[in-house]
Every structure is written in C-alpha cells, then in structure tokens.
Amino acid sequence: MVFKTNAGNRKNEIKDLEKGGLSFRQATIKWALSHPYVASVCVSITNFDEIHEYAQAAGKPLEEAEIAMLKRYTDEMYDRYCRFCGECESRCTRGVAIADVNRYAMYFKYYGREKDSMQLYGALRDGGNAASCEDCNGACDAGCPFRRTVRRELVEAHNLLSFPRGDA
C-alpha cells in the first residue's frame, strides 16, 4: 500500500495542468497502481466528487497524455513541495521541527484543514515552531537535497499557522 501520491497536492499552482479533460488525481493513482509491487493507494478524500473521480480511474491504464502531465508536475514542483525527510533539520541549531511545520502548512494551504493545522502547530514542542526563523540566516537552505527555499517557506508557514496573540 502506498500513500502521498499527490506529491504535495499543488496541482492548482500550475496553469492548465489538467487541460483537455485530464485529471491529476486519476493519473497519480494510475501511475502508482502500475507498479508491480503496489496493490492499493491510500488517499485523502473530502467529498463525493473526489470519490467518483478516483473510482473512475481504478483498473484503467495510464495514458501518454497523463504521463506528460505528471512529468510536467514533477519538473515544475520539484523544489516546491516538502518530502518531510528531515534532512535539513540537522543544519538548524534552534531545533525547529522543519518537516512538521511544512506538513502543517500543507494541511492548511492544500487540504482545507486550516483550524486543525493551526492547533497542531500550536502544540509543537518549545522551540519546535518557526518563530525564530525570521531573524536567522537560514542555514537549513543548504541542507535540502531538493533545493527548496526552506527558511522562506518556514517564515511564511509561521505567519500562516500562528494563532493571534491570546487566541491559542
């Protein structure tokens, strides 16, 4: 069983990605299920439309146009989404839980889980949040094998996920 096949779920950031009636969601599970060692795919489904969309893809082969769409996503999003590998965390002397912060920001921005993600962020251990990233030189940037702008996104995530003072 595999999951996280939507690779950051940032399809809406690419204009015309699904032009011609293509479905990014369908293509990702077709691609995953085409691997001989994969029996099933676990995905987040938040409404009935998505159930229908995924169900229509089951058992169908991946088409050339879908492969091209997935390659385009891979190229354009390569340095945009976090893989939560934690490789960069050893560069941070302040103990920021970089992968967790990025995961919660993803929940907020791309999965419609705003309140939940803010509560998770608020529960991070002392020093684990990204409050101190604003005045840091960003040593973590050099630690990401995917060339992500780690510090910049952490500052953005902190602003996104922090409860207003006195509202936590």
Among 29, 41, 96, 161, the residue binding ligand SF4 under the rule CB under 6 A is: 96
Alpha carbons 20 and 121: distance in angstroms, whole number: 39
Q: Does 139 bind ligand SF4 (CB under 6 A)?
A: yes
Q: What share of the chain is helix, strand, coil (3-state, %, to 5)?
A: 50, 0, 50
Among 9, 26, 28, 102, the residue binding ligand SF4 under the rule CB under 6 A is: 102
Q: Does 136 bind ligand SF4 (CB under 6 A)?
A: yes
Tell me if 57 sits within 8 A of 70, measured CB to CB.
no
Q: What stretch of H or E contains 75?
A: helix 64-77
Among 140, 157, 158, 161, the residue binding ligand SF4 under the rule CB under 6 A is: 140
How many residues contact ligand SF4, by CB under 6 A? 28
Q: Does 156 bind ligand SF4 (CB under 6 A)?
A: no
Three-state helix/strand/coil letters over 25-60: HHHHHHHHHCCCCCCCEECCCCCHHHHHHHHHHCCC
Tell me if 114 sits within 8 A of 161, measured CB to CB.
no
Among 138, 156, 160, 162, the residue binding ligand SF4 under the rule CB under 6 A is: 138
Considering beta carbons, is residue 66 or 100 the nearer one to ligand SF4?
Answer: 100
Binding site for ligand SF4 (CB under 6 A): 82-88, 91-92, 94, 96, 98-99, 102, 130, 132-133, 136, 138-140, 143-144, 146, 148, 150-151, 154
